[in-house]
Amino acid sequence: MALESAPPGVDITRPSPARVYDYALGGSANYPVDRQAAEEVWRVAPETRQLARDSRGFLIRAVRFLADEAGIDQFLDIGAGLPTADNVHQVARRANPRAQVVYVDNDPTVRLHAEVLLDGDPNAVFLSGDVRRPEAIIERTRSLLDLDRPVALLLVAVLHFVAEDPRGIVDRLIAALPPGSHLVIAHTTSADMDPAFRERLARTYADAPAPLITRTPEEIEAAFRGRTPLPPGLVDVACWRTAQPRTPGPLRVLGGVARL
């Protein structure tokens, strides 16, 4: 059952990207304002409802690839969102039971749920933090992960809530990571987007703490700091390492993984 009342410190007067995402995935950690925001977008473009599932599927496949084929056992998941089935630590530990994960998010609802989910797990930790303050995140992460060994930096569905200099933020984060680390990005794109839909989308997220920002494929690829994403490159998230066909809709999410 979805939530109707909130604990102290949780703002339920404005939609939260994490809670809207949770609602799209069929979760219960959301409020009327989040459900209303999601339904507003779906009325215009019902096919966008599937994008949350596509993004989650991309995250799961990327983590599985990193833990299994790339041998990564440390994960820094920034903008982690609300806990749901197949979290990063669960997926990674199927390949390596000793995998360590640091989750970071600035939403107090996410923190409350993460504290329950991760209670008693010393190798899966939640930090309250904002991707727009990368140095603060890295400083707190140093005591939790070994930054002299490769780390997977996960920025899935978070940079499109960053208005200023997303590439600079990525640069500052990966500057602290050693060679052999990997960068994972998923981001909404404005490519082929109908102007009327873009305006409707902007209005829907106008009251959110962080409005949704779409960028061109070239702008998203630039966030990889000049490194070419591993095959199959920067593609629709539903198509990354799957044979699933994808019919472009009014809103697309591109994803890719690059080795640093």
Name the residue type at position 127: L
Proportion of the chain in helix, strand, coil states, percent, rounded to 5: 40, 15, 45
From first to last of the 260 residues of the chain, give the pLDDT tens digit: 455 566 667 788 888 878 888 888 888 778 888 898 888 878 876 777 788 889 999 999 999 999 999 999 999 999 998 666 689 999 999 999 999 999 999 988 888 888 888 888 999 999 999 999 999 999 999 999 999 999 999 999 999 989 889 999 999 999 999 999 999 999 999 887 777 777 776 776 666 666 778 899 999 999 998 788 999 999 999 999 997 766 666 678 999 999 99
Report pLDDT for 31.
Answer: 87
Name the token pair of 48. Answer: 């966008």
The answer to whether 89 and 121 have CB atoms below 8 angstroms apart is yes
Domains and CATH numbers, the chain: 17-259 (3.40.50.150)
DSSP 151-208: -EEEEES-GGG--S-HHHHHHHHHTTS-TT-EEEEEEEE-TT--HHHHHHHHHHTTTS
Report pLDDT for 150.
Answer: 98
Strands in 152-156's sheet, in edge-to-edge order, are 124-128, 100-105, 74-78, 152-156, 182-189, 252-259, 235-236
